[in-house]
Amino acid sequence: MELKGREIFEATPSQIWSILMDIPTLARITPGVSRLEEIGDNEFDAIADVKIGPVRASFKGKLNLTDLIESKQFNLNVKQNSKIGNVDAKVGLRLSPTSATHTELSFDGKANFSGTLASKGARVLSGVVSSLSKQFFKELAIEIENRDFPEVIAESDNSNHRKHTNMSHEININLNGKDVSVSVEARDLLADVLRDKLRLTGTHIGCDTSSCGACTILMDGMAVKSCTLLAVQADGSSLTTVEGLAKDGELHPIQTGFKEEHGLQCGFCTPGMMLTAIDLLKRNSNPDEHQIREALEGNFCRCTGYHNIVKAVQHAASLM
């Protein structure tokens, strides 16, 4: 499987390099890493705890860095194993200045999976890798912001000197019936703001590619995938997440339908399924099986085979 990613940070290559070569800091900001101990020249023992769909696994093994060019590049070689399979990967990391104060960090490589892990499928594994990469970029950005680096002055087009800063915005939304104001960065995704800043973790992130639908919410009554929207795009909108469905202790009809028709197993996809179904039922109060399956084609379920989910939506239709 190919591994690719890139992000631009407000820091120089040498500043980012200093963080990447600071082993305690690197262990702290890398998602899932519980141990990173240097055992030789650029060689490390590592333990990582990773969640793959509903399965959690602890991977143990070795990492080593090769072809280091300070503040520019290195290759990361990974060999780790767990009870559900093994990982063998090689990834090249590059630091490229985009201005006097900004640097693009990119990685490009390949990973091979074996054992039960390989049976999870490329789409699932790609989603996990994408999510972990995104989390790492986010933690690295926070670390850069909190570091007391010497200020780098950049010259603007009008020859005035200034330091560029990340732009933040105050957005106002009606969230599950309540007016909420929250400060977000211009680059923040709506799914991340809902989960990390507003603590509505029923909105799940399963792929980061808009494929799985686990992040689906209602925006002004329409089903949208919140991992594909910037939070600033939601300013002035009315949002509904799964936490806002039940009223006064009474389940929403769609929740009742999933309960009565056994439409869920692990539950990971269920919030997105229910909110997509609500959008459908607002537009079509009595959909047939084909119409339900067509409406839900952007929501993946890896447990139930969809049959009971269709019945659950039909049950909800009879109650609405």
Last residue of a domain, one of 114, 146, 178: 146
Structure tokens at 63: 């990492």
* 114-128, 174-188, 203-217, 273-287, range with the lowest pLDDT: 114-128
The reply to whether 30 and 89 lie within a common domain is yes
User: Is the pLDDT score of 165 beyond 60?
Assistant: no
The reply to whether 235 and 253 lie within a common domain is no
The reply to whether 175 and 275 lie within a common domain is no
pLDDT band at 27 (very low <50, low <70, confident <90, very high): confident
What is the identity of the amino acid at 66? Answer: T
Question: How crowded is residue 236: how many other Cβ atoms within 10 Å of its Cβ?
Answer: 10
pLDDT in tens, 131-152: 778 888 899 999 888 887 765 4
Cross-strand pairs, 47? 35, 60
- Average pLDDT of span 213-221: 94
pLDDT in tens, 248-266: 889 999 999 999 999 998 9
User: Is the pLDDT score of 57 beyond 80?
Assistant: no
User: Is the pLDDT score of 316 beyond 50?
Assistant: yes
Last residue of a domain, one of 213, 244, 275: 244
Domain holding 204, by residue range, is 168-244
In a domain, 122, yes or no: yes
Per cent of the chain over pLDDT 90 is 45
pLDDT value at position 160? 44
In a domain, 155, yes or no: no
pLDDT band at 83 (very low <50, low <70, confident <90, very high): confident
The CATH number linked to 186 is: 3.10.20.30
Last residue of a domain, one of 225, 244, 263: 244
In a domain, 233, yes or no: yes
User: Is the pLDDT score of 194 beyond 90?
Assistant: yes
Question: Into how many domains does the chain fold?
Answer: 3
The reply to whether 79 and 123 lie within a common domain is yes
pLDDT in tens, 262-279: 999 899 999 999 999 999
Q: How far apart are CA 70 and CA 265, in angstroms?
A: 49
In a domain, 194, yes or no: yes
The reply to whether 6 and 133 lie within a common domain is yes
In a domain, 132, yes or no: yes
Q: What is the average pLDDT value for the chain, to the nearest integer? A: 85
In a domain, 90, yes or no: yes
pLDDT band at 288 (very low <50, low <70, confident <90, very high): very high
The reply to whether 229 and 251 lie within a common domain is no
The CATH number linked to 273 is: 1.10.150.120
The reply to whether 57 and 132 lie within a common domain is yes
Per cent of the chain over pLDDT 70 is 88
The reply to whether 142 and 27 lie within a common domain is yes
User: Is the pLDDT score of 153 beyond 50?
Assistant: no
pLDDT value at position 162? 39
In a domain, 162, yes or no: no
pLDDT value at position 155? 40
The reply to whether 237 and 290 lie within a common domain is no
pLDDT value at position 31? 81
pLDDT value at position 245? 95
pLDDT value at position 128? 67
The CATH number linked to 71 is: 3.30.530.20
Backbone angles phi, psi at 165, to 5 degrees: -125, 155
In a domain, 152, yes or no: no
The reply to whether 105 and 60 lie within a common domain is yes
Token look-up 């933040």 returns 168
pLDDT value at position 121? 53
pLDDT value at position 161? 40
The reply to whether 190 and 250 lie within a common domain is no
The reply to whether 201 and 305 lie within a common domain is no
